[in-house]
Amino acid sequence: ETVKPTNFIHQIIEQDLQEQRHDRVVTRFPPEPNGYLHIGHAKSICLNFGTAVKYAGECNLRFDDTNPEKESQEYIDSIIEDVRWLGFEWAGEVRYTSDYFQQLYDWAVHLIQQGLAYVDHLSAEEMRQYRGTLTEPGKNSPYRERSVEENLALFEQMKSGDLPEGSCSLRAKIDMAAANINLRDPVIYRIRHAHHHQTGNDWCIYPSYDFAHGQSDAIEGVTHSICTLEFEDHRPLYEWLIQNLPVPCVPKQYEFSRLELNYTVTSKRKLKQLVDEQHVSGWNDPRMPTISGLRRRGYTPAAIRQFCDMIGVTRSNGVVDVAMLEAAIREDLDANSPRAMCVLRPLKITLTNYVEGEEEWFELPAHPKDDSLGSRRVSFGRHILIEQEDFEEVAPKKWKRLATGEAVRLRGAYVIRCEEVIKNAEGEVVELLCTYDPATKGANPEGYKANGVIHWVNAERSLPCEVRLYDRLFSVADPEADKTRTFLDYLNPESLVTLTEARAEPGLAAVAAGDKFQFERMGYFCVDSDSRPERLVFNRTVTLRDSWAK
Ligand code: ATP
Ligand code: MG
Ligand code: MG
């Protein structure tokens, strides 16, 4: 693989290595298993795993599983699959924050013993009132000055399961007047009588994100704990906990900006809402910005990694144009996908001078620029199908397709001329009677000109298929801009158009889910998991060109 472009995180790491602060880089990717991974996570995955690869270090996959009610094994399995699919492998076993629950508990006890944590009985609402605001300091809880012994006994009681949820919590004792609100005695343990997907009913108290994260990093020997900018204000707390606990090593937190894409949402909570309310068919609906949705849509791991390289890693927030993501997959598929012909909305043609029952097979290259992809065979006969939009009764100016009385080349076959148009009672064109010119196989017509080249299939030999055309899931660039409405108000009603009459060239009979093609002139397509030999199903991954560009 090529050397990745550098970024500010890499510059920090290079300096750390040079000054021998570490002899090896250890990073981690820490998803919470409360949903499927999305394209934003891909940025974090490429950064964390890519950094480990670049500096011959290690990257752990750690499930940040401290909210059992929202998490599930289904999410864990999907995350593991998606990280691997993107092309990355973690060091050793998959890890779970829950593996460290005993150690984290012991460290909470240690804080109590040092007089640095206390059990509080304020309700969540009272705690909010006591916390103060950005401009006003908070107030100490009346329970703040309990003795160490009392706190130890109460924390033990929290753990024993005797106390109801919300009755008390363990808080770090830092400073209720700190300018940084995260330091105003943050909650580090709360009671949850919930079954946990990894630890079952072993625990009824769970550590907060802030208490669990840095300590888990320290346990794993993480050197550079890379997270997104919303955690910048948590860094003083991260450092306070590391300083005040007997941790085996000192990780440091660095932040970068989240990826945001226009015309979509990248928040698990909102994506889950789209799934739960059935606005999409599931987490892997090809319109979703999830890794599994992109995979089903026909994206490749290489294109997603390439996109992440292109957008880079910085500390400035900005919205990335989804056209960049589309450009990355277009480039990959242009270079690597075999060509085929598929007529999406067929119009019948009978070639009146071609003998009924005769058939010819033409050999065409699978790729115009890459011989290694070999060739394909297409069948020609008296009855063929072309795209409805490739015919106009009266040719507009500069028309490059078929029109009454005019000639056009069928890709890889003959030049045909439209002699007669057959219409139904409603006046719609239902069939064209054409003639073909036998002298134009691999040769230019003599004495006249063909308008252009169009794709086609043999009506009898072609394979019936369903084609799903996707557009952006939202019809506006920022579905969250208007705070008086919800993002659901901007769902694009045309984000999925299903064509049921499409016909593909016969060579596609044996395709498998995930196979990718350029359907000439129509875009890049991949075989959907719904596809069956008797009825193929193709997803359009992306159009040939950016049709949204103004
Ligand atoms: P969401 O808000 O979508 O639930 P999250 O940050 O809560 O995202 P996590 O499962 O905690 O989701 O994320 C795992 C890692 O991926 C974290 O380090 C997080 O910072 C990173 N990450 C999540 N979303 C993005 C994004 N849009 N861009 C870059 N990194 C992200
Ligand atoms: Mg998170
Ligand atoms: Mg989240």
**From start to end of 355-452, where are the E strands?**
360-365, 375-380, 383-387, 391-392, 402-403, 407-410, 415-423, 429-437
Tokens encoding 546: 């950016």
Which residue's alpha carbon is at the smallest distance from atom 13 of ligand 1? 31
For residue range 89-130, what is the model confidence (pLDDT) as tens digits?
A: 999 999 999 999 999 999 999 999 999 999 999 999 999 999
Ligand 1 center to 31 CA (angstroms): 7
**pLDDT at position 4, please?**
54
Ligand closest to the CA atom of residue 231: 1
**pLDDT at position 442, please?**
87
Is domain 8-256 annotated with CATH 3.40.50.2300?
no
According to DSSP, residue 349 is labeled E
Q: How confident is the model at residue 64 (pLDDT cuts 50, 70, 90)?
A: very high
Phi-psi domain of 416 (left: phi exceeds 0; alpha: psi -120 through 50; beta: other): beta
Question: Given a cut of 70, is residue 549 above it in pLDDT?
Answer: no
Amino acid at 486: T
**pLDDT at position 547, please?**
74
**pLDDT at position 132, please?**
97
**pLDDT at position 3, please?**
54
Ligand closest to the CA atom of residue 48: 1
Query: Percent of the chain having pLDDT more than 70?
Result: 99
Domain boundaries, given as residue ranges, for the chain: 8-256, 262-336+464-504+511-550, 341-462
Angle 269-228-190 from CA coordinates, rounded to 5° = 60
As a whole number of angstroms, the distance between CA 33 and CA 30 comes to 9
Ligand 1 center to 230 CA (angstroms): 10
Ligand 3 center to 452 CA (angstroms): 53
For residue range 355-373, what is the model confidence (pLDDT) as tens digits?
A: 999 999 999 999 999 999 9
**pLDDT at position 146, please?**
97
Question: Given a cut of 80, is residue 295 above it in pLDDT?
Answer: yes
For residue range 240-271, what is the model confidence (pLDDT) as tens digits?
A: 999 999 999 999 999 999 999 999 999 999 99
CATH topology of domain 341-462: Ribosomal Protein L25; Chain P (2.40.240)
Q: Which of ligand 1's atoms lies nearest the C-alpha of 259?
A: 28
The residue among 68, 67, 63 whose CA lies nearest residue 90 is 63
Which H or E element spans position 206? Answer: strand 205-207
Annotation: binding site for ATP: 32-34, 38-44, 228, 258-259
Q: Which of ligand 1's atoms lies nearest the C-alpha of 269?
A: 4
According to DSSP, residue 545 is labeled S
Question: Given a cut of 90, is residue 6 above it in pLDDT?
Answer: no
**pLDDT at position 256, please?**
98
Q: Which residues are bridge partners to 85 per DSSP?
A: none
**pLDDT at position 5, please?**
59
Pick the CATH number of 262-336+464-504+511-550 from 1.10.1160.10, 3.30.2310.20, 3.40.47.10, 1.10.580.10: 1.10.1160.10
The percent helix, strand, coil of the chain (3-state, each to 5) is 30, 25, 45
Give me the mean pLDDT over the 529-550 stretch. 89
Pocket test for ligand 1, best of 27, 29, 41, 288 (most atoms within 8 A of CB): 41
According to DSSP, residue 346 is labeled E
Q: Where do the H-state alpha helices sit in 203-321?
A: 209-220, 235-244, 268-276, 291-297, 301-311
- Nearest-Å Rg of the Cα atoms of the chain is 31
Which residue's alpha carbon is at the smallest distance from atom 18 of ligand 1? 227
Q: Which of ligand 1's atoms lies nearest the C-alpha of 268?
A: 3
Ligand 3 center to 547 CA (angstroms): 33
Give me the mean pLDDT over the 3-32 stretch. 92
Q: Which residues are catalytic?
A: 32, 258, 268
Concatenate the DSSP letters of all residues of 80-126 into one string.
HHHHHHTT---SSS-EEGGGGHHHHHHHHHHHHHTT-EEEE---HHH
Pocket test for ligand 1, best of 83, 228, 304, 480 (most atoms within 8 A of CB): 228
Q: How far is CA 154 from CA 120, 123, 168, 240, 260, in A?
A: 9, 16, 9, 24, 44
Question: Given a cut of 50, is residue 72 above it in pLDDT?
Answer: yes
Within 6 Å (CB) of ligand 1, which residues are found?
Answer: 30-32, 40-41, 43-44, 64, 227-228, 258-259, 266-268
Ligand closest to the CA atom of residue 40: 1
Concatenate the DSSP letters of all residues of 274-301 into one string.
HHHTTSSSSTT-TTS-BHHHHHHHT--H
Q: Which of ligand 1's atoms lies nearest the C-alpha of 34?
A: 10
For residue range 483-524, what is the model confidence (pLDDT) as tens digits?
A: 999 999 999 999 999 999 999 999 999 999 999 999 999 999
**pLDDT at position 548, please?**
66
Ligand 2 center to 82 CA (angstroms): 17
**pLDDT at position 471, please?**
96
